């Protein structure tokens, strides 16, 4: 695993990583049963890279917006850090992490919830 998460600088265990992987982009049943406390995943947009070269994503769930910042893989293939920040990048108090210094010309939508899964919450 070997990456850090948020402000915690300790590597995540396999169990902790597994808990972060959910079925929020598929058929949504229930917040607790699906481990999707923010509701189903609605969209993911790539905003660009921050000063450290980390990729910044705007992620929208049905009940919350989040900002994900994912570092580039190291030579050994491990990802050094992943930040999952509640709220959109523009609202974040962690400007040092979410500020995009090399933005895309416009945010690229890389995921949108399929129509067959809408209305299932």
Total number of domains in the chain: 1
Q: Is residue 69 part of a domain?
A: yes
Task: Please give the Cα distance from 39 to 93 (Å, whole number).
Answer: 23
Q: Is residue 121 part of a domain?
A: no
Q: Is residue 97 part of a domain?
A: yes
Q: Is residue 95 part of a domain?
A: yes
CB 84 within 8 A of CB 7: no
Q: Is residue 106 part of a domain?
A: yes
Chain centroid offset of residue 35 CA: 15
State pTM to two decimals: 0.74
- What domain range includes position 18? 4-114
pLDDT band at residue 20 using 50, 70 and 90 as cut-offs: low
List, for residues 29-79, the tens digit of each pLDDT value.
Answer: 666 666 677 888 889 999 999 998 999 999 998 888 989 888 888 888 777
Q: Is residue 35 part of a domain?
A: yes
């Amino acid at each position: 695993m070997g990456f850090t998460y948020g402000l915690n600088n300790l590597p995540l265990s396999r169990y902790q990583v597994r808990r972060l992987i959910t079925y929020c982009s598929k058929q949504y049943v229930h917040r607790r049963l699906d481990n999707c406390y923010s509701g189903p995943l609605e969209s993911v947009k790539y905003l660009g890279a921050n000063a450290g070269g980390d990729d910044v994503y705007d992620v929208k769930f049905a009940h919350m917006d989040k900002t994900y910042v994912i570092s580039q893989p190291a030579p050994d293939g491990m990802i050094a850090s992943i930040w999952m920040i509640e709220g959109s990048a523009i609202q974040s108090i962690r400007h040092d992490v979410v500020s995009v210094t090399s933005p895309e010309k416009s945010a690229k939508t890389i995921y949108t919830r399929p129509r067959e899964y809408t209305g299932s919450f």
